[in-house]
A = this chain, B = another copy of it.
């Protein structure tokens, strides 16, 4: 066979796609012996293995034909009921099961919302920094993504109002009020009200992403934005952090007017989410196990968080600043000006630890002196060792 050039011509959007820098970093750093504080993997010790095994056996004994057949694109009805009831009871929302769409992880929720709302050149507002996976989900639809100035309580309301009121109407603002990946920020009650006021006044739609809402370690976060301006919010939730990410199970809650389009996008994307997995998760949930399981996860991660805070205070004072997160999975560090986290990563790996440089999390104007540390994957003694190694690298570079 003669070698010929590929006949495939890529779509313009494909030229914009890039390999996930985090996945590339993880390939290098997740090798034995490295203390990785890079990946955002939930601790496998938190997976309810016993409950999953029993639930799988029960589903495949009691309803195998239904669990293995094609199913509704909307999702498994009892699980939609559960999600609505859970959000109404726990989050002060007012959701009907008819607004719940089960998705293949909440990453799919990001893709579907983007697919339905973004035209080429549409303006989309994001936090500074923001979740990298969302940038990857939005980018193929060719929006203009604009970073809104943010502090440790989220985007600044005046900056959000300015961005919403300037130029073309933004299609949505993508917001993570609870323990954001990567910054760990949580919106205060006052900040939530201020942002909701902007949304109301400017007619600004919101895409609220809350994968970490249940992972609070001090006090529960205030009510979601979706509980305050429900008609203006698409809300994304996930079972990845409270049960297990390998199942790829999340959900979208959409205003009734928007739901049919998201459903059609879902049908086109993968027909429906694995009904076997949906039924297994429902079997686990119906027992009420989250009521004890989630507090146990909180207790574990709080210890990890405290270990990292103590290690940072011991080793990194004067080299970096950070705000102790009150939930979620991450510390966000700002290094002394002049230090470049990307450039220093090879030295850190050589020293025996890994982190994620912060630049990947910026839609605009990346800050090279930032980095993300995960405290959930490594045990507390490894956290302490990893932070000590990081301190050594920074001292040598400073």
Contacts and interface: CB of A to CB of B under 8 A. Distances in A.
A122 B8 CA distance: 13
A111 B69 CA distance: 21
B7 A261 contact: no
Contacts of A69: 41-42, 44, 47, 244-246
Contact of A11 (B17, B39, B47, B117): B117
A117 B14 contact: yes
A71 interface: yes
Chain copies in the assembled complex: 2
Contacts of A57: 53, 56-57
B204 A70 contact: no
Nearest to A261: B14
Contacts of A274: 104, 246-248, 274, 277
Interface stretch (A60-68, A189-197, A349-357, A358-366): A60-68
Contacts of A258: 6, 8
Contacts of A231: 4, 6-7
Contacts of A13: 115-116, 119
B41 A107 contact: no
A210 interface: no
Contacts of A19: 260, 263-264
Contact of A246 (B70, B104, B111): B70
Given A111-B270, A270-B111, A277-B276, A117 B60 contact: no
A356 to B, nearest CB: 14
Contacts of A10: 116-117, 261
B122 A11 contact: yes
A96 interface: no
A70 B41 contact: yes
A7 B205 contact: yes
A342 B178 CA distance: 50
Given A11-B115, A11-B117, A41-B69, 8 more contacts: A8-B232, A11-B118, A12-B119, A47-B65, A107-B270, A108-B270, A111-B268, A246-B275
A205 B12 CA distance: 17
Interface stretch (A82-90, A137-145, A389-397): A137-145
A313 interface: no
A143 B18 CA distance: 23
A328 interface: no
Greatest chain B CB density within 10 A among A20, A47, A270 is at A270
Given A44-B65, A247-B68, A203 B7 contact: yes
Nearest to A271: B107
Contacts of A49: 60, 64-65, 68
A12 to B, nearest CB: 5
A169 to B, nearest CB: 7
Given A6-B257, A11-B117, A11-B122, A268 B68 contact: no
Contacts of A248: 104, 270-274
A265 to B, nearest CB: 7
Interface in A101-140: 103-105, 107-108, 111, 115-120, 122, 133, 136-137, 139-140
Interface in A1-59: 4, 6-14, 17-20, 23, 39, 41-42, 44, 47, 49, 52-53, 56-57
